[in-house]
Amino acid sequence: ETGVTQTPRHLVMGMTNKKSLKCEQHLGHNAMYWYKQSAKKPLELMFVYNFKEQTENNSVPSRFSPECPNSSHLFLHLHTLQPEDSALYLCASSQDRGQGSNIQYFGAGTRLSVL
Amino acid sequence: AQSVTQPDIHITVSEGASLELRCNYSYGATPYLFWYVQSPGQGLQLLLKYFSGDTLVQGIKGFEAEFKRSQSSFNLRKPSVHWSDAAEYFCAVGDSGGGADGLTFGKGTHLIIQP
């Protein structure tokens, strides 16, 4: 039990579908993150939220839309995805942002396949 | 921009043998350094971290790592591996300047344990 829960664990969607990934952290943290893990590539930071405010967007295409209604929940809304978006999407949380020393705790990820 | 290089994509070690996984980083100042492990179907779990002080740091599961500034390295070691150590290992750098929130990861090293 890592304290960070992601649902669903697996998702298959067509290019015209709309779906959402959910992340919930039970650690009392203030910062939450979305990462993309593709085969043979390093983990890529997508978005950062701190106290529900988005603080970083790493040039992510608009077909990915994050939402953070409170410090415990983070969503990633998906629409009109491409096959190259197939990957493992990892959520993480940390006590605070702003310093690289904040330890990030990861969920198990959602394995997304876009057909 | 910071970067992390893990030169070994795969490493095979016999059970009971010693292990060293290499990590080199590129960063302008003293970075925050992390090693994470990812078992199949799981998220990333923190093994150990270096922020400052003693350059030899101890982690969980019997792992240790040594920060060598002159070589820009942070290699992970274990004196005797167990079959349960088979996993993907990621080295990561955090921004000590407080400019970025997320971590920069290497591509990972896949560890295979031979009986």
Give residue-wise pLDDT tens across range A52-81: 788 777 789 999 999 999 989 999 999 999
H-run or E-run covering B94: strand B87-94
Q: Which two tokens stand for residue A84?
A: 């190259």
Q: Which residue of A has its CA nearest to B34?
A: A103
pLDDT score at B97: 62
What confidence tier does B30 reach under pLDDT thresholds 50, 70, 90? confident
Tell me how far apart the alpha carbons of residues B57 and B49 are, in angstroms, rounded to a whole number: 7
Cβ contacts of B52 on chain A, cutoff 8 Å: none
Enumerate the β-bridge partners of residue B93: B33, B104
Partners of A35 on chain B (C-beta within 8 Å) are 102
Longest dimension (CA), chain A: 40
Distance between CA atoms of residues A56 and A50, nearest Å: 9
The whole-angstrom separation of Cα B103 and Cα B90 is 11
Whether the CB of B59 is below 8 Å from some CB of chain A: the reply is: no
pLDDT at A6: 97
Q: Closest-CA residue in chain A for B2?
A: A100
Q: What integer pLDDT is reported at residue A100 of this predicted model?
A: 67
**Min Cα separation A51/chain B (Å):** 13
Contacts of A99 in chain B (CB under 8 A): 32, 94-96, 98
Q: Is B37 an 8 Å CB contact of chain A? A: no
Tell me how far apart the alpha carbons of residues B67 and A22 are, in angstroms, rounded to a whole number.
36
SS3 B85: helix
